[in-house]
């Protein structure tokens, strides 16, 4: 039943119930309300744009991509798109995915080089193919065919940071000897281990339709070909039009291992509020992180993961392992808010 027919059915049912001929409906009539969006802390402008676009009637997934494109275009944000920090060979590889509530479809690209707006390419994958995920050279050829312009994404700023990392890499790379996963894990110091960024954006339109998007340059100085959670549907991003949106930023490996985005949405489907759903995901990360190299002296995860959620009714929530801030926009405008967090302090 479409919204309109469902609404008129409910109106008829309510009138009938008043006349004593039909039972009263047991579920509420959905009202039109203000669009809302949630995003990572770097998404203040993005949530504002997404909400504006939904107010103009845009589909949430398109509004989400319009919002994150501004961050992808920003050379100063070294976690996304142009100026994103490169892999260990100095090559920028971008990951992104989109998901559309009304159709239940998704599109994604991973390890995409030379195209600054991977979220827009992911939208094309969703709309013009029967696939969900394209990677590497195939994703690049696909983007080229749809007219995306290739450019060098390594800015002077990110190139210098890469060179600086390379000069010290022996202590801070991403390689692990198998015995380091055991009880005698090495002291796992990595000055760049929190050098992650990414933008996730979840959006709810006035009619309750949802859409979402995550885009990133991934973990700084990753092993070439490494794919994080951001382009994986159900991990860095997920939505269900009957429930809401769920997404993540931070250590992608941890989010993949708990299927974070879909876990958050499942928690809401089971009745949790958006914030509590995100907190459950953070707890699950803490509970399932076991190897010593990933734990601090107190036995807590030595990294940050942030989760974001919106539900169909326009409620917004976010939670993280450690303290921090996220961005949201509703009828009161764009602003930052504090994460609910498992641990009070910021990540070290």
Tell me which residues are annotated as active site: 198
The bridge status of strand 36-40 relative to strand 325-330 is antiparallel
Which CB, 85 or 265, lies closer to ligand ASP? 85
CB of 79 to ligand ASP, least distance (A): 6
Of the residues 42, 216, 262, 310, which one makes contact with ligand ASP according to CB under 6 A? 216
CB of 250 to ligand ASP, least distance (A): 5
Give the torsion sign (CA, 134, 140, 141, 142): positive
Of the residues 218, 314, 317, 334, which one makes contact with ligand ASP according to CB under 6 A? 218
The bridge status of strand 237-240 relative to strand 244-250 is antiparallel
CB of 4 to ligand ASP, least distance (A): 39
Instruction: Single out the residue of 154, 155, 3 nearest to residue 89, CA to CA.
Output: 154
289 lines the binding site for ligand ASP (CB under 6 A): no
Size of site (CB under 6 A) for ligand ASP: 14
Which CB, 58 or 221, lies closer to ligand ASP? 221
Tokens of 141: 């050829």
Each residue 234-253 as x (binds ligand ASP by CB under 6 A) or -, in order, gives --x------------xx-x-
Tokens of 205: 């339109």
CB of 83 to ligand ASP, least distance (A): 15
State residue 240 phi and psi, 5-degree precision: -140, 120
Contact range with ligand ASP by CB under 6 A, out of 3-11, 66-74, 115-123, 194-202 = 194-202
Of the residues 230, 259, 266, 289, which one makes contact with ligand ASP according to CB under 6 A? 230
Binding positions for ligand ASP, 36-95, rule CB under 6 A: 79
Of the residues 196, 241, 262, 267, which one makes contact with ligand ASP according to CB under 6 A? 196
Contact range with ligand ASP by CB under 6 A, out of 83-91, 104-112, 211-219, 293-301 = 211-219
Of the residues 118, 211, 228, 314, which one makes contact with ligand ASP according to CB under 6 A? 228
Contact range with ligand ASP by CB under 6 A, out of 182-190, 224-232, 310-318, 325-333 = 224-232
Q: Give the residues across from 316 on adjacent strands.
A: 310
Question: What Cα–Cα distance (Å) separates residue 313 from each residue in 29, 207, 245, 321, 329?
Answer: 12, 9, 11, 26, 14
In the complex, the residues that contact ligand ASP under the rule CB under 6 A are 79, 196-198, 216, 218-219, 228-230, 236, 249-250, 252
């Amino acid at each position: 039943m479409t919204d309109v027919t469902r609404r008129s059915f409910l109106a008829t049912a309510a009138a009938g119930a008043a006349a004593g001929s039909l039972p009263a409906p047991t579920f509420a009539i959905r009202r039109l309300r203000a669009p809302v969006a949630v995003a990572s802390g770097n998404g203040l402008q993005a949530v504002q744009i997404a909400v504006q676009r939904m107010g103009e009637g845009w589909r949430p997934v398109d509004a989400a991509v319009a919002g994150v494109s501004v961050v992808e275009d920003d050379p100063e944000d070294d976690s996304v798109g142009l100026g994103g920090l490169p892999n260990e060979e100095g090559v920028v590889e971008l990951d992104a995915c989109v998901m559309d509530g009304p159709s239940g479809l998704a599109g994604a690209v991973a390890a995409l080089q030379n195209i600054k707006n991977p979220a827009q390419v992911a939208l094309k994958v969703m709309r013009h193919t029967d696939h969900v995920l394209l990677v590497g050279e195939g994703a690049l050829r696909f983007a080229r065919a749809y007219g995306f312009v290739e450019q060098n994404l390594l800015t002077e700023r990110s190139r210098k940071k890469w060179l600086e990392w390379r000069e010290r890499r022996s202590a801070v790379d991403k390689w692990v000897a198998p015995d380091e996963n055991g009880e005698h894990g090495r002291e796992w110091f990595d000055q760049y281990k929190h050098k992650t960024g990414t933008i996730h954006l979840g959006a709810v339109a006035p009619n309750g339709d949802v859409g979402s998007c995550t885009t990133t340059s991934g973990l700084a100085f990753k092993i070439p070909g490494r794919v994080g959670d951001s382009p994986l549907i159900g991990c860095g991003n997920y939505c269900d039009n009957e429930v809401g949106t769920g997404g993540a930023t931070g250590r992608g490996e941890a989010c993949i291992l708990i299927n974070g985005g879909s876990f958050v949405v499942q928690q809401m489907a089971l009745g949790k509020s958006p914030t509590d759903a995100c907190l459950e995901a953070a707890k699950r990360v803490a509970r399932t992180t076991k190897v010593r190299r990933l734990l601090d002296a107190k036995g807590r995860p030595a990294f940050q993961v942030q989760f974001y959620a919106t539900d169909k009714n326009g409620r917004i929530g976010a939670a993280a392992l450690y303290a921090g801030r996220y961005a949201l926009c509703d009828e009161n405008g764009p602003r930052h808010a504090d994460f609910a967090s498992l641990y009070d302090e910021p990540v070290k």
